[in-house]
Amino acid sequence: MEVQTDKITILNHPLINHNLSIIRDKDSDCEKFKNALKRITYALIFEATKNLPVVKKEVTTPLQKTICDCFNEQAQLIIAPILRAGMIFCEVAQELLPFANVHHIGMYRDEQTLEPVWYYDKRKQIKPNKKDVFVLILDPMLATGNSAIDAVKNFISKGVLEENITFVSLISSPLGLEKLSKKYPKVRIVTCAKDERLNEKGYILPGLGDAGDRIYNTVE
Ligand code: URA
């Protein structure tokens, strides 16, 4: 189902690839685009959470007792969508992880420098038992890698362990993957495609265009 290096997982599955073709198609309208993206989000979140800690719990079925693996409630899980496009992953992520906290990251890309500009960050310091804090940073496009690196840096500065951070994207550029994994080699990256390259404006080729514009129907 996937191409796996140590820390980078590129999902490869007919259902994912089919939905990705809908997402990439410039003629898919906002509704089609969002529905296809939502379907893929389930696979991304399942993969991104596959190493979460579990504890054994006794459960009684209608027939007998059994031992089940359950999410360790001592652990804190943080879903961190990078605004605005990252919000597209949020509904499904919350559905699958109802016990998680959502921390919005407000960042936009300066069109000249391609550097991230922060405008919203209300995160508090992380709990002292930081071994039990896990963060999923959500952004459909891992392009230059600059926003991803800044978001990871911010969580680490608040006390999260690098190895407990997973970056979830739909499409990644070779440069973004390389920069993020060189700067933070312990961060896991889960994505569905490694595209060809970036253009001079920092857009991924072939990509899907501007993710935020396509999600929020603001394509001009
Ligand atoms: N952000 C987008 O929305 N699209 C890209 O191709 C790159 C960054």
CA angle 2, 139, 80 (to 5 degrees): 110
Q: What is the pLDDT of residues 137-168, one digit of tens each?
A: 999 999 999 999 999 999 999 999 999 999 99
From ligand 1's centre to the CA of 2, what distance in Å?
Answer: 23
What mean pLDDT comes out for the span 214-219?
A: 92
Q: Average of pLDDT values for 187-196?
A: 98
Q: 114: pLDDT confidence band, cut at 50, 70 and 90? A: confident
pLDDT bucket at 1, cuts 50 / 70 / 90: very low
CB 203 less than 6 A from any atom of ligand 1: yes
Task: Say if residue 127's pLDDT is above 80.
Answer: no
Residue 4, pLDDT > 70, answer no
Per-residue model confidence as pLDDT tens digits over 57-83 = 999 999 999 999 999 888 999 999 999
Predicted confidence at residue 128, as pLDDT, reads 66
Please give the mean pLDDT across all residues of the chain. Answer: 94
108 in Cβ contact with 117 (< 8 Å): yes
Tokens 């993969």 found at: 47
Q: Is the per-residue pLDDT at 3 higher than 70?
A: no
Question: Quick one: tokens of 102?
Answer: 């959502």
Residue 145 in contact with ligand 1 by CB distance below 6 A: no
CA angle 158, 161, 167 (to 5 degrees): 95
- Report the residue among 107, 210, 213, 218 best suited for mutation to probe ligand 1: largest number of ligand atoms under 8 A from its CB: 210
**pLDDT score of 84:** 92
Reported pTM? 0.93
Over range 30-44, report the average pLDDT: 98
Give the domains, in start order, of the chain with CATH numbers: 2-215 (3.40.50.2020)
Residue 49 has pLDDT above 60, yes or no: yes
Residue 215: CB within 6 Å of ligand 1? no
Q: Which two tokens stand for residue 219?
A: 């394509």
Return the DSSP state at 72: -
Distance CA 53, CA 14 (A): 29
Percent of the chain with pLDDT over 70: 96
Cβ of 207 less than 6 Å from ligand 1: yes
Q: How far is the CA of 194 from the centre of ligand 1 (A)?
A: 13
What confidence tier does 2 reach under pLDDT thresholds 50, 70, 90? very low
CB 161 within 8 A of CB 130: yes
